[in-house]
Amino acid sequence: MTSTSPLEPFGARLRRAMDERGPLCVGIDPHASLLAEWGLDDDIAGLERFSRTVVEAMADRVAVLKPQSAFFERFGSRGLAVLEKSVQEARAAGALVVMDAKRGDIGSTMAAYAEAFLRPDAPLFSDALTVSPYLGYGSLSPAVALARESGAGLFVLALTSNPEGGEVQHAVRADGRNIGATMLAHLAAENAGEEPLGSFGAVVGATLGDLSSYDLDVNGPLLAPGIGAQGATPADLPGVFGAAVRNVVPNVSRGVLRHGPDVSALRGAAERFAQEIQGAVAGA
C-alpha cells in the first residue's frame, strides 16, 4: 500500500467484512511439515507456491487472512519478500490481513515494530497486528497510537490457548484481578464509545472452555485460535464466548490448509468451516 491516507478504522472494516463474508480467519502457516504434505520442498520456491495458492484460494472470499511471520522470517530476506507480496495481494483481493507477529517491547523498539506493520506506506503494512503486552500494557502505547492514526488494529494476547500461558495470564494481582482480565479491561477502555466495533481486540483461545468469569465484552474483536487441529469446534464457540460470540473471529489454519494444494479443496474446507461457524453463532 503506498497511500499515507488513514483508512476507515479497522473495527468498522472488520465488522463489515464479517457481516458480508462471515467471521472466518484462515491462517497462512507454511511450516515445514505442511509444505511436505503439499508435496513442496522446504525452500523459497515451496514457500512462494504455498502462499500464492492460499491467497488465490481464500483472499476473495474470507474475511481475514492471518500470515504467521515466523514461517517467512526463517528464510531471511527472500522469505520476507514472499510475505510482502502475499500481504499486498491478499489485501488487494479484499481480505483483511492480520499479521501474526506477536511483537512486544518498550519505547523506540516498540515504535519501530509498529512502523514495520502499521505504517500505511510500509512494505508489510497489515490491517492489524498481534502484540504481546507482557512488558506491561503501557509498553504497547506506540502501537496503539500508530494503529489509531493509520486506521489499523491490534490483537493483544489475553487468554491464549497454549497451556504455558496460564502461569502469566492467570496470575492474580494485588487488586484481586488476574492478568488476563486486566488486559481485557485495558482493551475495553481503548474501545469505549467506538461503533460499530472497536479496533483493539484480544486473543482468546477457543479451547479454554467456560470463560463466563471473564468480561469478554471489550467492544472489540476476539481472535480465537484453536479450532480444528487444536481440538475446538465451531459448536464450542457459544459456550466459550457467551454473549460476545458475535464479535469472535475464529481462526482455522491446519483444518483448512491440509486440504491443499488443490484450490477447490481449500475453498471447500473453508466454506464448510464458515458455514458451521455461522450456524453456531446464529444459534447462540
For 87-156, give the secondary structure using H, E and C: HHHHHHCCCEEEEEEEECCCHHHHHHHHHHHHCCCCCCCCCEEEECCCCCHHHHHHHHHHHHHHCCEEEE
Handedness of CA 59, 65, 71, 73 (dihedral sign): positive
Give Cα separations from 100 to 42, 51, 218, 253 (angstroms).
Answer: 21, 15, 21, 12
Residue 85 annotated among the catalytic residues of the structure? no
Orientation angle between helical segments 76-92 and 44-58, nearest 10 degrees: 10
Among the options 102, 246, 254, 272, which is catalytic?
Answer: 102
18 CB contacts (<8 Å, ≥6 apart)?
63, 249
The residues annotated with a catalytic role in the active site are 102
